[in-house]
């Protein structure tokens, strides 16, 4: 196995952001593909998939050898940058660590972020409706807003700012 292939597998297993609900709420299934037991089938943007976080992700994939096609073929922008030689492997591991730290900090403020960052951010934003004006909402929630911004900044190497909140 080539060194880049080993890095791919190791980086993905060390990260899991596409599996744990940090980036997406759903993973698409291939045409005719069946989901594994314990996966919750869902539909987003009229695409059949399974809900994230994946029940088989526990700090790493526990069904790695039989994972769905999307899990075998998906590659985030950070992985692509490592493969292309644009990002050193050590820097990629630091980006993974930053993402996990940001997610933990956000989950401390928004518990739903422990299972779905996109859903937690959306639910938080809906809270603005209970405030008389935006300035009051921002003042009362400055630390949570800072945690959301850090999470968004931490995900940028994985997504380059593209809309990834729905499905991979």
Contacts of residue 163, defined as CB under 8 A and 6 or more positions apart, other chains included, come to none
Burial class (CB in 10 A: 0-12, 13-18, 19+), 14: middle
pLDDT score recorded for residue 99: 95
- pLDDT tens across 63-85, in order? 988 889 999 888 899 999 998 99
Look over the chain and give the mean of its residue pLDDT values, rounded to a whole number. 85
The answer, yes or no, to whether residue 112 has pLDDT greater than 50, is yes
pLDDT given at position 106: 96
CA 164 – CA 124 distance, rounded (Å): 18
- Of 9-13, 56-60, 64-68, 79-83, least confident by mean pLDDT is 9-13
Which residue is listed with tokens 């403020």?
Answer: 109
What's the alpha-carbon Rg for the chain, to the nearest Å?
17
Cβ pair 152, 71 in contact under 8 A? no
Query: Within its chain, how far is the Cα of 60 from the centroid?
Result: 13
In percent, the amount of the chain with pLDDT more than 70 equals 86
Of 25, 24, 160, which Cα lies nearest the Cα of 95? Answer: 160
pLDDT of 49 reads 84
Q: What is the rounded CA–CA span in Å between residue 28 and residue 55?
A: 15
């Amino acid at each position: 196995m080539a060194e880049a292939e080993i890095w791919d597998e190791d980086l993905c297993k060390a990260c899991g952001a596409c599996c744990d609900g940090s980036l997406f709420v759903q993973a698409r299934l291939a045409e005719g593909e069946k989901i594994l037991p314990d996966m919750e089938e869902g539909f987003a943007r009229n695409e059949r998939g399974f809900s994230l976080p994946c029940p088989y992700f526990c700090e790493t994939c526990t069904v790695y050898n039989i994972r769905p096609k999307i899990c075998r073929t998906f590659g985030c922008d950070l992985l692509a940058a490592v493969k292309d030689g644009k990002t050193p492997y050590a820097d990629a591991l630091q980006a993974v660590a930053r993402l996990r730290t940001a997610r933990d900090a956000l989950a401390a403020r928004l518990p739903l972020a422990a299972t779905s960052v996109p859903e937690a951010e959306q639910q938080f934003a809906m809270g603005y409706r209970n405030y008389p004006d935006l300035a009051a909402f921002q003042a009362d929630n400055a630390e949570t807003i800072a945690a959301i911004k850090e999470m968004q900044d931490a995900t940028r190497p994985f997504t380059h700012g593209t809309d990834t909140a729905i499905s991979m």
